[in-house]
Amino acid sequence: MVTGQWFYRPEEAEKKGGGSWPLNDTRELFYSFHRDEVPAESVMHKCVVHFVPIHKQIPNRKEHPGFIVQKVYDTVEQKLWKLTDKDYEDNKQHEIDLLVQKTLSRLGDLPDLEFDSTAAVFDQEEQLKAKRTLRKKNISPLDVTRNDEGSTRSDQSLKAETPGSCPSNTNEYYTILSKAKVLTGETHRDKWMTRLLQGVQYMCSCPDGLERERDIKSPRTANGSREKSSNSGKSFTWPDAAVPAITALEKASHDALCSDFQKYNQKLRQLEFNLKNNALLARRLLNGELEPSTILNMSPNELKEGLTAEETAKKEPDESERMQLFYYRESR
């Protein structure tokens, strides 16, 4: 297990009274004092987060790629506080100051923003109101430990499920699953199935006339998975080949992890990420080479390679074979 520091995507941070939070940048995340223990295997890769004071310009994404944090999310009051607010408890204020200092030391002194005077006055009034509220009730960190397991499943399902946005139930993928009559009726499970379905779409060929539309809608993955899929051999028909595979994978995950809502979400997020970014893994799921139960038990490195540990071992020559190959090369 490792201790994880939680950040919230704006679309997943609940707002008191409803509605959505305005964004300054598509890379924006909200910091929080929410920490939790998570399985080490759920960690996929590092990411960079820049802590930028609200009055500073956001760094250029090409020169300084990474997420942006300018606000702190109060998970209890469902409110936002700026990094520059100075009424946090001392230990929390020190924590934020250090994070901002690290960012500025890495990026240099960022230019100041020029605020409209009217907007600045309004902002100052809002900030004073917020500070008065904060003085009355200090933000306390949300301690999400094993003691919180007493909360009900229905309460948990209303919270943000993963650090990734969930598609709306009205989207095309939900419609496909509905027509196939594979929806479970459980909102969080059905959302994950729509995301898995979307994640493997690049491996499939659409009926004539829909290929161009799919290419526009389907996101291009970071390592070029869609390009790899064009040379993958067997062609899979969309959505007929994808639906049974992803529903079986989700069912296996739910059957194994339904008793731990958090681990279920972490596993599905891991599977979605790897299927979307690894054409070999996605192809082997769709053609039945890898059973859902096998994929479910693969380590992060195995998912990244698309091969089980046994398959990787078979591909690697043993010591005698390596020596023979070495002698052969030397003799030549």
Q: Are residues 193 and 290 in the same domain?
A: yes
Q: Is the peptide bond before 239 cis (omega within 30 degrees of 0)?
A: yes
Exposed e or buried b for every residue in 100-109, given b needs 16+ CB within 10 A?
beebbeebee
More confident: 227 or 235: 235
Q: Which tokens hold the place of 54?
A: 């609200």
If one counts the domains in the chain, the total is 2
CATH number at residue 20: 2.30.30.490
Residue 328 pLDDT greater than 80, yes or no: no
Share of the chain above pLDDT 70, in %: 68
Do 76 and 200 belong to one domain?
A: no
| Residue 92 included in any domain | yes
- Asked if residue 270 belongs to a domain, the reply is yes
Q: Which residues span the domain enclosing 48?
A: 2-107
Q: Are residues 180 and 273 in the same domain?
A: yes
Domain assignment present for 158: no
Helices (H), 201-224: 211-217
Q: In whole angstroms, what is the distance from residue 12 CA to residue 8 CA?
A: 6
Q: What is the pLDDT of residue 40?
A: 84
Calculate the CA 241 to chain-centre distance. 25
Is the domain of 199 the same as that of 65? Answer: no
Q: Is residue 78 part of a domain?
A: yes
Q: Are 35 and 59 in contact (CB under 8 A)?
A: no
Whether 253 shows a pLDDT value over 70: the answer reads yes
- Tokens (6 digits) for 142: 């949300």
Last residue of a domain, one of 57, 85, 107: 107
Mean pLDDT computed over 1-18: 86
In terms of domains, do 200 and 103 share one?
Answer: no
199/307 same-domain check: yes
Give the integer Cα–Cα distance in Å for 61 and 51: 14
Among the residue ranges 122-136, 143-157, 297-311, the one predicted with the least confidence is 143-157
Give CA–CA dist 92/94, Å, rounded.
5
Q: 242: number of CA atoms within 13 Å, CB side?
A: 25
CA distance readout (Å), 320 to 147, 210, 325: 54, 53, 9
Q: Assess if residue 82 is contained within a domain.
A: yes
For the segment 112-127, the average pLDDT, to the nearest whole number, is: 54
- Classify residue 48: in a domain, yes or no: yes
Sequence-ordered list of residues with C-beta below 8 angstroms from that of 194, at least 6 positions apart, any chain: 166, 167, 169, 171, 173, 174, 177
Amino acid code (one letter) for 329: R
Does 314 fall in a domain? yes
Same domain, 178 and 57: no
Q: Is the same domain home to 176 and 295?
A: yes
- 196 with 296, same domain: the answer is yes
Same domain, residue pair 193 and 48: no
| Per-residue model confidence (pLDDT) at position 321 | 57
Together in a domain, 186 and 259 = yes
222: pLDDT strictly greater than 80:
no
Helices 279-286 and 187-200: angle between axes, nearest 10 degrees: 110
Report the share of the chain in percent with pLDDT over 90.
Answer: 34
Q: For residue 95, is it within any domain?
A: yes
Verify that 79 and 194 share a domain, yes or no. Answer: no
- Whether the per-residue pLDDT at 162 is higher than 50: the answer is no
| Domain end among 91, 107, 123 | 107
Which residue, of 79, 107, 135, is where some domain finishes? Answer: 107
Name the H helices within 137-260: 153-157, 172-179, 187-200, 211-217, 225-229, 242-257
